[in-house]
Amino acid sequence: MPDPVKSPTILVIDDDAEIRYSLARVLSSRGYQVTEAASGEQGIAVVKKGPLPELVFLDVRMGGMSGIEALQHIRSANPKQLVILMTAFGTAQTAIEAMKYGAFDYVMKPFDPAKVLALAEKAMKAHADLRAVGDYKPTINIEDYREGIVGSSAVMQDVFKVIGQVTASDVTVMITGESGTGKELVARSIWKHSHRAGKPFIAVNCAAIPDNLIESELFGHEKGSFTGATGQRLGKFELCDGGTIFLDEIGDMALATQTKILRVLQTGEIQRVGGTETIKVDVRILAATNKDLEAMVKAKTFREDLYYRLNVVRIKMPALRERDDDVPQIVDFCLQNLVKQKKSRVSKVAPEAMAVLVRHRWPGNVRELENVIYRSAVVAQGDAILVKDLPAEILGADAAVVAGTAAERAPKSIESGTIGLEPVVPKTTGTSGEAGGASALTLDGALDLVFAQLQAGEPALLARVEREMISRMLAAEGGDEAMAAKRLGITKATLRKKVQRD
């Protein structure tokens, strides 16, 4: 909101006096105070001297320093400064560079005054939101978390205690819990604190290795033991001698292999596939699963004797929603890590955004939270993550928040900047089951919202929905086209075609 005492200042940097003049006219018609600079160098000097303008309009192509260069200077001196670039050339390169160096948005010349004003208003709102975040006090300092396991809730304290208890011995530990709760992290922590820390830690994902290869992977094979076994090969158990093996997703291990693991546990001996020699190995076994092993034992798909051997000590990792007090700490941990690795300058979270994160149910647990923080930090334009920067699916879990912020969640691109989602109150679920509370935005509710927009005459939305889903899936899969296509249920060729069409 513009300050009632002092009207917000906008700095216009352009080497073309006519553009400066017309832009100043448009902006001052809304009460903004406009200052002008005729070059990148001059603009930087104005910003440096202060006081900082609320917003900068910056031309891309100027004699002397380019707009992109000036943008870099301005943003690195003050990551909070919002800058809108102006360009006569709507090329992909300009758009990509602009966003890469942290522009709030960009606007095409010749201007559409209405668009310029709408954009200025949006930026002012973001500016006010960023200022409101104020002095953010992080809940943790990453230097205190070398272990990488964050959380101070009672359930996590219990986990830490058990880790401490099992490090002194070689006892087998079974780590259970939903996907993304930190099972592997805990296994590594046990190893790091044990007397085996100087020896290898080898993680084997039993679900990722085909049944016919897993034995050779674990125990090795002799030359000629099967087609393709052209030489002798040592397995993980031999390679890991003296160390710790982490059998991840052990619920996916075939019964025949289970028998052999039982033998290692009982005798400390293995045989290579196709070999006759018995080899002594000194390996500690840690195992993890998110399957219900008890049910598998009953169904005879998991050996009961192995189950008891593995389950000497059990660590059950709590789901993140059972320890939502830990969410702010994990958020701060992720942000500080990003800043430390120089991957982001975002170090704060607006209180409203944090509240949404704490309320979310996190079916993908810490891994999902991590992913959401990385994505939000990428799109955040100031030094803080605001509600508008959170991915739609996270906001979708809270209808009140969505209704309250739908208008400000208007799309970021200039073409679609006029869509202006109406704050449609989405349908709520009648039940309060696992998938969300009574206020959860259902898929049907989201579809209603999209349909209402299409009916309101926004045909570009259909393509945008498809584009958004594809680009988000690509981001979620770290740019892996094959995996993204698989999860979207389309072929890689189709995905490529759709990406290229933009």
Ligand X SMILES: Nc1ncnc2c1ncn2[C@@H]1O[C@H](COP(=O)(O)OP(=O)(O)OP(=O)(O)O)[C@@H](O)[C@H]1O
What is the contact surface with Mg ion in residues (CB under 5 A)? Answer: 184
Least CB distance from residue 287 to Mg ion, whole Å? 11
SS (H, E, C) 14-55: CCCHHHHHHHHHHHHCCCCEEEEECCHHHHHHHHHHCCCCCE
Check: CB of residue 265 under 8 Å from CB of residue 255.
Answer: no
Nearer to Mg ion, 184 or 408 (CB): 184
Least CB distance from residue 101 to ligand X, whole Å? 28
Least CB distance from residue 14 to ligand X, whole Å? 45
Give the torsion sign (CA, 349, 389, 340, 336): positive
Q: How far apart are CA 153 and CA 172, in angstroms?
A: 25
Nearer to ligand X, 15 or 184 (CB): 184
Nearer to ligand X, 177 or 396 (CB): 177
Minimal CB distance to Mg ion: which residue? 184
Nearer to ligand X, 125 or 291 (CB): 291
Q: In whole angstroms, what separates CA 93 from the centre of its chain?
A: 25
Pairing outcome for strands 173-176 and 384-385: unpaired
Q: Which two tokens stand for residue 24?
A: 């100043």
Least CB distance from residue 7 to Mg ion, whole Å? 55
Dihedral, CA atoms, 259, 262, 266, 269, nearest 10 degrees? 70
Q: Which two tokens stand for residue 307?
A: 């189950």
Nearer to ligand X, 111 or 160 (CB): 160
Q: Kindly report the CA angle at 214 between 212 and 219, in degrees rounded to 5?
A: 120
Check: CB of residue 133 under 8 Å from CB of residue 114.
Answer: no
From the list Mg ion, ligand X, none, partner contacted by residue 290 (C-beta under 5 to 8 A by kind): ligand X
DSSP-based three-state secondary structure for 81: coil
From the list ligand X, Mg ion, none, partner contacted by residue 63 (C-beta under 5 to 8 A by kind): none
Nearer to ligand X, 134 or 148 (CB): 148
From the list ligand X, Mg ion, none, partner contacted by residue 8 (C-beta under 5 to 8 A by kind): none
From the list Mg ion, ligand X, none, partner contacted by residue 370 (C-beta under 5 to 8 A by kind): ligand X
Least CB distance from residue 470 to ligand X, whole Å? 24
From the list Mg ion, ligand X, none, partner contacted by residue 79 (C-beta under 5 to 8 A by kind): none
Dihedral, CA atoms, 244, 249, 252, 254, nearest 10 degrees? 0
Nearer to ligand X, 183 or 388 (CB): 183
Nearest to 45 by CA among 90, 85, 3, 13: 13
Least CB distance from residue 257 to ligand X, whole Å? 19
Least CB distance from residue 406 to Mg ion, whole Å? 37
**Chain residues that interact with ligand X, rule: CB under 6 A:** 148-151, 177, 179-185, 290, 330, 333, 366-367, 370
Minimal CB distance to ligand X: which residue? 182
From the list ligand X, Mg ion, none, partner contacted by residue 151 (C-beta under 5 to 8 A by kind): ligand X
Nearer to Mg ion, 184 or 458 (CB): 184
From the list ligand X, Mg ion, none, partner contacted by residue 130 (C-beta under 5 to 8 A by kind): none
Q: How far apart are CA 126 and CA 383, in angstroms?
A: 11
Q: How far apart are CA 287 and CA 203, in angstroms?
A: 9
Residue partners of 244: CB distance under 8 A and separation at least 6: 187, 190, 191, 194, 196, 199, 200, 201, 202, 283, 284, 285, 286
Nearest to 55 by CA among 125, 158, 112, 113: 125
Least CB distance from residue 248 to Mg ion, whole Å? 5
Nearer to ligand X, 179 or 416 (CB): 179
From the list Mg ion, ligand X, none, partner contacted by residue 182 (C-beta under 5 to 8 A by kind): ligand X
From the list ligand X, Mg ion, none, partner contacted by residue 330 (C-beta under 5 to 8 A by kind): ligand X
Least CB distance from residue 160 to Mg ion, whole Å? 19
